[in-house]
Amino acid sequence: MDKLVIEGGFPLKGEVEISGAKNAALPILAATLLTDERCVIKNAPSLRDVSTMLKILRSLGVKVQMQNSRIVVTPSGYNKCVAPYKLVSTMRASICVLGSLVAKKGYAEVSIPGGCVIGPRPIDLHLKGIKSLGANIQIKAGYIIAQGKKLKGCHIYLGGPFGSSVLATANVMMAATLSKGVTIIENAACEPEIVDLIDFLTKMGAKIKGRNSHILEIEGVKRLGGAEHTLIPDRIEVGTYILASAITRGQVSIKGARLEHLGVLIDKLKEMGLTIANDDGIISVKITKPLKPINVTTLAYPGFPTDMQAQMMALMSVTEGISAVTEKIYPERFMHVSELGRMGAEIMLEGPTAIIKGVRQLSGASVMASDLRASAALVLAGLVAKGRTDISRVYHLDRGYEKIEEKLSRLGAKIWREKE
């Protein structure tokens, strides 16, 4: 197994280019199962989660080729409908093949995604949505078995105790595109990745109204065709590099970002005192005065993204004063707290809220990555800590950050990979 080693204390400087969004790529790849025709996905990031999704497509009988950042998917005549445990257990997002498989083939068998370190991740909304479209759902031997030759449009409220669900919205919307009649999804997620999926489905011939809103209206069509699509940039990767610049008191320019996807993060960083400029699509980050502590609450889009919470906490750990983070999407997503503590951070947990007392200096330590975003937080902490930080279980990072050590090294970080 690999680990990352970081020698901290070097301000980052220079330009970094952002990759395509992982969380847009995964449902869009699943959507190719809705057609028999060739689809081309551009700006695809080379990540472990993307290759897991490609393996799932191949296991269904779909032809897939990835070269550089271009994926060509040829689904014609794929004939299997089972997403096996072996693959689903390595990536929860595999569940998003459920909607497209049942809509196209009338049958889907998808392993139930297992436990997750960021807390409970139920799938009731996925099942409620697919059932409302008329599919028969059974749970057998750890698999969801969905059958429905003739799905029919419906009116569904898709909210849970924590609000809208990104992948449940994706699943139900995909199934609705080939259902007879009109489907209305109330409390739909409107994350930029959902909008990207809507844009892709529309290119395939789907009829969807309500883009960028919480109410989607989908008029089913008989068939969908192939499409070519360029994925949006990864807003969480952008946010992570903005924070890498801020935490090292550096000056990084970020190329290929879409500032309009980052409203609340930019707002919060300006409240802290960061200067963020957008010049012709290049975001530049500068610090000219001491940062101020802030409070952040994670919420569904356009609220503060839960996927930026851990990285934000790393920055708060070295910001003088008391900051707070309240997690309202995954109230147990705090695995990074104790690892940041090993590096000298002072963080107290009270239910879903973390109170962070900024310290002058973190110190390098051996720490363990527990999930993708927690790992990113440890990298940020390692970049500013005094001395050497060893981050084990780095495979979590490889799920979601393309060439992270290469990109950071080019910005002047001392970071490298070693065998454990």
Q: Give the residue numbers marked as catalytic.
A: 116
What binding mask, one character per residue, do residues 390-409 give for ligand EPU by CB under 6 A, x or -? ----------x---------
Q: Minimum distance from CB of 279 to ligand EPU (Å)?
A: 28
DSSP state string for 47-106: -HHHHHHHHHHHHTT-EEEEETTEEEEE-TT----EE-HHHHTT-GGGGGHHHHHHHHHS
Question: Tokens standing for 400?
Answer: 């979601």
Question: Tokens standing for 261?
Answer: 């996807």
Locate the DSSP E strands across 200-246.
207-209, 215-219, 228-230
Residue 385 touches ligand EPU, criterion: CB under 6 A? no
Strand ranges across the sheet with 366-368: 366-368, 388-392, 2-7, 414-419
Q: Nearest CA to 197 among 23, 402, 60, 18?
A: 23
Residue 167 touches ligand EPU, criterion: CB under 6 A? yes
- C-beta neighbour count of 82 within 10 angstroms: 17
Site stretch for ligand EPU (CB under 6 A), options 10-18, 104-112, 161-169, 334-342: 161-169
Site stretch for ligand EPU (CB under 6 A), options 154-162, 262-270, 312-320, 348-356: 154-162
For 32, list phi and psi in degrees, rounded to 5.
-65, -20
Measured CA to CA, the distance from residue 303 to residue 407 in angstroms comes to: 28
Nearer to ligand EPU, 6 or 24 (CB): 24
Q: Minimum distance from CB of 8 to ligand EPU (Å)?
A: 24
- C-beta neighbour count of 140 within 10 angstroms: 8
Nearer to ligand EPU, 287 or 313 (CB): 313
What binding mask, one character per residue, do residues 112-141 give for ligand EPU by CB under 6 A, x or -? --------xxxxxxx---------------
- C-beta neighbour count of 118 within 10 angstroms: 22
Nearer to ligand EPU, 54 or 365 (CB): 54
289 DSSP 8-state letter: S
Q: Is the peptide bond before 27 cis (omega within 30 degrees of 0)?
A: no
Give how far Cα 315 sits from Cα of 119, 378, 384, Å: 23, 11, 9
Residue 232 touches ligand EPU, criterion: CB under 6 A? no
Nearer to ligand EPU, 200 or 330 (CB): 330
- C-beta neighbour count of 104 within 10 angstroms: 22
What is the separation, in whole angstroms, between the first and last Cα of the chain?
Answer: 6
Locate the DSSP E strands across 364-419.
366-368, 388-392, 414-419
> 274 - beta bridge partners?
287
Measured CA to CA, the distance from residue 369 to residue 335 in angstroms comes to: 9
Residue 166 touches ligand EPU, criterion: CB under 6 A? yes
Site stretch for ligand EPU (CB under 6 A), options 143-151, 160-168, 226-234, 277-285: 160-168
Site stretch for ligand EPU (CB under 6 A), options 74-82, 165-173, 259-267, 338-346: 165-173
Nearer to ligand EPU, 123 or 377 (CB): 123
Q: How many helices (H) and strands (E) would you count in the chain? A: 14, 24
Q: Minimum distance from CB of 95 to ligand EPU (Å)?
A: 8
Residue 93 touches ligand EPU, criterion: CB under 6 A? yes
Nearer to ligand EPU, 179 or 306 (CB): 306
Site stretch for ligand EPU (CB under 6 A), options 10-18, 79-87, 158-166, 201-209: 158-166
Interacting residue with ligand EPU among 143, 241, 304, 330 (CB under 6 A): 330
Nearer to ligand EPU, 109 or 234 (CB): 234
What binding mask, one character per residue, do residues 11-30 give for ligand EPU by CB under 6 A, x or -? ------------x--x----
Residue 168 touches ligand EPU, criterion: CB under 6 A? yes
Instruction: Answer yes or no: are the C-beta atoms of 35 and 224 closer than 8 Å.
Output: yes
Instruction: Answer yes or no: are the C-beta atoms of 1 and 388 closer than 8 Å.
Output: no
Residue 160 touches ligand EPU, criterion: CB under 6 A? yes
Residue 306 touches ligand EPU, criterion: CB under 6 A? yes
Q: Which residues bind ligand EPU (CB under 6 A)?
A: 23, 26, 93, 120-126, 160-162, 165-168, 189, 193, 306-307, 329-330, 372-373, 400
